[in-house]
Each structure stands twice: as structure tokens, then as C-alpha cells.
């Protein structure tokens, strides 16, 4: 491993995670997975979804997956099944991650399980069973990736800290935060001060996902993809969509007759769309898009085994579902 380059290729059999400052000695299976297209593709899918087009949160699903691997290797270095599951837990994501979830009934968990099964031969060559990984991913068996109900798990820990670092929300280096954490029945457990900081980051992430910088690109991209998929002779098929990377999808939307003009305008001038206030009739008769937020990730860590409570998190949960209306200027 070149000490000056945190590569995502498994060169020299190591991965250094720059967020957590953890060096992972990769197993032969992990190196093989990092050379497989289902995992490599995640390097071209933004963790932040469409918000990667309008914010500084531009890191990939692959970086996040490697971060979860680093955390599993830190807390349970010998759990080979959990380590492999960490690398594969997001392989079902559509382009732009959660942005397109639910369109045409698409679910990244179902797509991911199909892809993991398709890699069964590779996993078997290294002594692992694909169905065992699916049981871990689903939480059907206990593992370092499975928290107690309602508790913060390693997947979300990496998301909150990685996003927080990208947006400048963190107050301490994630590596320093990690030194104050432990896993208790799969749940992130810590001291009261650190727990409060983790809750603050989770709340900030939920609020960011309700901001115009997030809502506008997510809503418009969902609108464009839905348009391209619609009609008796759609410009885009579901089968094509699920295999695409972010760049491939944007290129396709700019080529599709039904979306070309809007897609080009959106990429060049995202602010050509704006949020309307409730009961605002401005823009009546122009292109309008509705977007709903129905869930949010706010599971807290525990302190000495007791889950932290947060009035701010409770308020955000009570505010769901949220409906946003946009119109094109």
C-alpha cells in the first residue's frame, strides 16, 4: 500500500480508511471482491444520491462500504462473514443510491440479495456461503453489523461521521470518536458526551436531507427517471436502470427524447427548480413536481447499554411524512 494514496483496489493487500484512520489487512476474498464489478460499480454511485450534484458530499458507496469493513475489522477482526457482508451490503443500490428507491417498486435490498447470490461461486471458492451473508445482512443472525432494535449500527455510524466530515459538521476527528466507542450486542455504545455528539450528527443529517440542496435534486431526478420509464414505449427500461452508474444515468437522461431538455437544464442550472411554500400558487401552470420523505435514520447509540433519547430526533420523526412541491422557474 502506498502510504500517500488510500486506494480502493486492495493494492498490496491493505485498505487504509482515511476517515477512521484504520489499516485493514485484506483477506484474499476481500481483494477478489474489490476487483469484482458489483463492488467496483459502487465507486461510481454517490452515497449522498442526487445531493452529490449540489453539495460537497460527493464520496461514493464504495468508500462507505470500505468504511463499514474497516469498522467491522476494528471491532471483530476475525468475523469473516461480517467483513464480507460489509463490503457487499450496498451492491444493490440504484444509481444515485436512495434517490430512486421505490420507483417501479425497486428495492436495493432485494437487488442486493440477487447480486450477492450471483456471486455465490466466488464466495464459495473462499469458504463462504452466500445465504449466510444474506442472513447477516437481514439481521436474522447476530453479527457486528446487527444492532438491537432501535440502536445505532456500524453502517449508520459510518454514514453519520462520513457525511458529517464532508459537510464540516464534526467537532472531533472521527478516529478520536472511534477510540471512545464499543459494540454492545451490535449496538454502538459510548459515554454520554460522545453519545450526544453522535445524536447531533444524526439529527443534522436528517435536517440536511430536508434542505433545498437535497430535496431539489432528489425530486427532479426522480421526476426525470419516472418520465423516462413511462409510456408504452419508454425511453429507458428498468433492466437498464438497475445496472447503471450515476454518470451513465445522467448521460441516458440527456439522450432520452422525453427528458433531454429538462435533464440538460437541471445539470447546468439546478436552481431553475425551486421549492414552493405550502399553499403557494406561484408557478401554477408550469412544470411542477411533488416529493415525499417518509422515513429518516435517527437510531441513537447507547450509553452503558441504555439507548439515548433525543427530543430533536423525536420531533423529526413526528414530522413525517413530509411533502414538498417544486416548480420550474
Check whether 281 has a pLDDT greater than 80.
no
Q: Give this prediction's pTM.
A: 0.96
Check whether 279 has a pLDDT greater than 70.
no
* Sequence-ordered list of residues with C-beta below 8 angstroms from that of 289, at least 6 positions apart, any chain: 219, 220, 222, 223, 273, 325, 326, 327
Decide: 98 and 122 in contact? Cβ < 8 Å. Answer: no
**Conformational region of residue 96, where left means phi above 0, alpha means psi within -120 to 50, and beta covers everything else:** left
Give the distance from CA 47 to its chain's centroid. 4
Q: Where does the pLDDT of residue 84 fall: very low under 50, low under 70, confident under 90, or very high at 90 and above?
A: very high
As given in the structure block, the three cell numbers for residue 300 are 441513537
What pLDDT is recorded for position 4? 79
Question: What value does the CA radius of gyration of the chain take, rounded to a whole number of Å?
Answer: 20
pLDDT over 90 percentage in the chain: 94
Decide: 229 and 244 in contact? Cβ < 8 Å. Answer: no
What pLDDT is recorded for position 329? 81
Decide: 107 and 132 in contact? Cβ < 8 Å. Answer: no
Ranges 64-73, 131-140, 224-233, 281-290: which has the least confidence? 281-290
Give tens-digit pLDDT for 133-159: 999 999 999 999 999 999 999 999 999
Give tens-digit pLDDT for 26-41: 999 999 999 999 999 9
Give tens-digit pLDDT for 89-136: 999 999 999 999 999 999 999 999 999 999 999 999 999 999 999 999
Q: Where does the pLDDT of residue 302 fall: very low under 50, low under 70, confident under 90, or very high at 90 and above?
A: very high
Q: For 78, which DSSP code?
A: T
Residue 282, class by beta-carbon neighbours within 10 Å (0-12 exposed, 13-18 middle, 19+ buried)?
exposed
The average confidence (pLDDT) of the chain is 95
What pLDDT is recorded for position 127? 98
Q: Give the residue-averaged pLDDT of 200-214.
A: 97
Give the distance from CA 98 to its chain's centroid. 7
Check whether 284 has a pLDDT greater than 60.
no
Residue 315: CB atoms within 10 Å: 10
What pLDDT is recorded for position 5? 87
Q: Where does the pLDDT of residue 327 fall: very low under 50, low under 70, confident under 90, or very high at 90 and above?
A: very high
What pLDDT is recorded for position 2? 59
Amino acid at each position: 500500500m502506498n502510504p500517500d494514496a488510500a486506494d480502493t483496489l486492495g493494492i498490496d493487500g491493505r485498505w487504509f480508511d482515511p476517515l477512521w484512520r484504520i489499516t485493514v489487512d485484506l483477506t484474499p476474498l476481500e481483494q477478489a471482491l474489490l476487483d469484482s464489478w458489483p463492488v467496483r460499480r459502487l465507486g461510481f454511485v454517490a452515497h449522498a444520491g442526487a445531493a452529490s450534484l449540489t453539495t460537497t458530499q460527493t464520496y461514493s458507496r464504495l468508500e462507505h462500504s470500505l468504511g463499514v469493513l474497516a469498522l467491522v475489522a476494528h471491532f471483530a477482526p476475525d468475523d469473516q462473514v461480517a467483513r464480507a457482508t460489509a463490503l457487499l451490503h450496498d451492491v444493490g443500490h440504484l444509481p444515485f443510491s436512495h434517490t430512486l428507491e421505490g420507483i417501479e417498486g425497486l428495492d436495493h435490498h432485494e437487488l442486493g440479495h440477487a447480486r450477492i447470490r450471483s456471486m455465490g461461486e466466488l464466495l464459495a471458492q473462499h469458504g463462504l456461503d452466500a445465504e449466510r451473508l444474506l442472513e447477516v445482512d437481514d439481521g436474522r443472525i447476530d453479527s457486528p453489523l446487527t444492532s438491537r432494535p432501535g440502536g445505532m449500527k456500524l453502517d449508520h455510524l459510518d454514514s453519520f461521521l462520513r457525511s458529517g466530515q464532508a459537510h464540516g459538521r464534526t467537532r472531533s476527528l472521527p478516529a478520536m470518536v472511534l477510540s471512545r466507542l464499543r459494540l454492545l450486542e451490535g449496538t454502538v455504545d459510548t459515554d454520554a458526551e460522545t453519545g450526544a455528539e453522535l445524536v447531533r450528527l444524526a439529527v443534522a443529517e436528517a435536517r440536511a436531507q430536508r434542505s433545498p440542496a437535497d430535496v431539489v435534486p432528489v425530486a427532479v431526478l426522480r421526476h426525470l427517471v419516472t418520465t423516462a420509464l413511462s409510456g408504452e414505449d419508454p425511453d429507458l427500461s428498468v433492466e437498464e436502470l438497475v445496472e447503471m452508474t450515476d454518470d451513465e444515468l445522467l448521460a441516458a437522461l440527456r439522450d432520452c427524447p422525453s427528458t433531454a431538455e429538462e435533464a440538460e437544464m437541471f445539470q447546468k442550472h439546478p436552481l431553475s427548480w425551486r421549492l414552493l411554500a405550502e399553499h403557494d400558487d406561484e408557478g401554477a401552470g408550469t412544470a411542477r413536481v411533488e416529493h415525499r420523505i417518509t422515513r429518516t435514520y435517527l437510531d441513537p447509540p447507547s450509553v452503558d447499554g441504555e439507548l439515548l433519547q433525543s427530543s430533536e430526533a423525536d420531533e423529526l420523526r413526528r414530522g413525517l411524512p413530509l411533502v414538498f412541491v417544486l416548480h420550474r422557474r
